[in-house]
Structure 1
Amino acid sequence: MLTELDPLLLFANIVIGSIGAGYFIYGKRQSHLLALLAGIGLITLTFIVTDLGWLCLWALVLIAAPKLLGQYF
C-alpha cells in the first residue's frame, strides 16, 4: 500500500489513462479490436502498476501494439 502520493506517478497515470480512453473510443467507433484492447489495457494499467518505470515501459508497449501488430490482425 502506498503511504504517500508521488506527483510524477499521479501525472503519468492521468496522461496514460487519457491516452487509453482515446484508444478505447477510437477502437470502439472504428471497430478496431487491437486499439480497443490497448485502450482497456492502458486504463487498467494505471490501477495495477505503482512503479513509474514499469508503468512507462508497459504503457509504451501498449501504445505501440496496435500500430506494430495491426498489419497481422
Structure 2
Amino acid sequence: MGTPAQLFWGIMFGAVGSGYFIYGKKQQAFVPLCTGMVLCVFPYFISNIYLMLLVGFVLMLIPYFIKG
C-alpha cells in the first residue's frame, strides 16, 4: 500500500468483502462467497487508486446482478 487513500479504500473493500464472504458461506451462495474473497485480496495487486475504485465498486455490484 502506498498512499493513505489506497490504505483506506483497501480496508473498506476488505470489510465489504468479508461481509459478502460470511453471507455467502452462511447462505451457501457461490457468487457472494467468491466476490467476497476477491474483494478482500484485490487491493494488494492494484496500485492505481482510480482503477482500484472502479474494480472495487464493480465487484460490489456483482452479487446484485448475478444471482447464483
Name the TM-score, length of structure 2 as normaliser.
Answer: 0.92
CA distance, structure 2, for counterparts of residue 20 and residue 6 of structure 1 = 21
How well do the aligned residues superpose, as a CA RMSD in angstroms? 1.2
1:60 lines up with 2:57 in the alignment: yes
Q: How many residues end up aligned between the 2 structures? A: 68
Q: Structure 1: where are the runs of 5+ without partners?
A: none
1:45 lines up with 2:42 in the alignment: yes
Equivalent positions of 1:1-73 (< 5 A) are: 5-70=2-67, 73=68
Q: Structure 2: where are the runs of 5+ without partners?
A: none
Identity rate, percent: 31
- Please tell me whether Structure 1 or Structure 2 has the larger radius of gyration of its CA atoms: 1
Greater RCO, CA 8 A, separation 6+: 2
Q: Structure 1 runs of 4+ off > 3 angstroms?
A: none
CA distance, structure 1, for counterparts of residue 32 and residue 63 of structure 2 = 6
